[in-house]
Structure 1
Amino acid sequence: MERTETTPAHTRINLGDVEDSAAAHGFGAHQESRFATRDLGAERTGVGFHRVKAGRRQAFAHRHDEAEEVYVVLGGSGRAKVEDEVFELTRLDAIRVSPGAARSFEGGPDGLELIVFGQRHEGDGEILQGWWPED
């Protein structure tokens, strides 16, 4: 979007005020998922905040055909599974996930808080149920 006199120079929100999509879709026992793109008025950037509950895995994995995403751990710890690799995550770890790669996250003893961002591609996403089954 090109900035005009009627277009604001910035938008500020608190991610905690964004609707929790996980709870709205019945996944509240596993996680919180707050997608802030629309609330921010962003047109080209996708932004989300995820809180995976302690000792839980996200309810499903996902992948994108077009979008590259970057995840940054804000708090807690846990694990990520990207394709066939499982690895530990701690505060301020950042990971980039390529288009086409499946990913999911698991909360450690204190849970896992992540912010995710990348270029927005409307309708670009595939949900993968049972991709990282419980041990």
Structure 2
Amino acid sequence: MGYMVLAAWVVQAAVGVSLLVSWARHAKGRNRGLVLTHATAMIAFAVVWIVFIVTGGVGWAWAGLGVLAVFIGFGDATMVRRARAVRGETNPGLRDYGPAIGVALSGSLGRRTRFHALFSALVFFPCLAVCIIATIAAR
């Protein structure tokens, strides 16, 4: 199952790279800190996850989940900012997350963004399941 998480990550990363290339071409550096932190952390996740697969060390799996849990939020924050711009709003706040999901799912941020937002669950939740199963199996 660890390999399934890695395979899902590869699909997610391919779309992420295409979004990163589009961002580099068109965004003129907007949200640079969020985008680059998110991208770098997702690469770090892959490294940690591969170490888990190779060693079987449960701590590595949990470390990978921790990276996802913290740094997916940087991608979410980028989506919220883009959705705010699409909606013509300027007030920042967590209350914008729900409407931003609606904007992303509507396709207003593009098909790749919609896919990336939805598919992220197919990396995160199986990763959580692997962590739990590996922890139980190690006892």
Higher strand share: 1
Higher relative contact order (CA 8 A, sep 6+): 2
Larger radius of gyration: 2
TM-score for the superposition, normalised by structure 2? 0.27
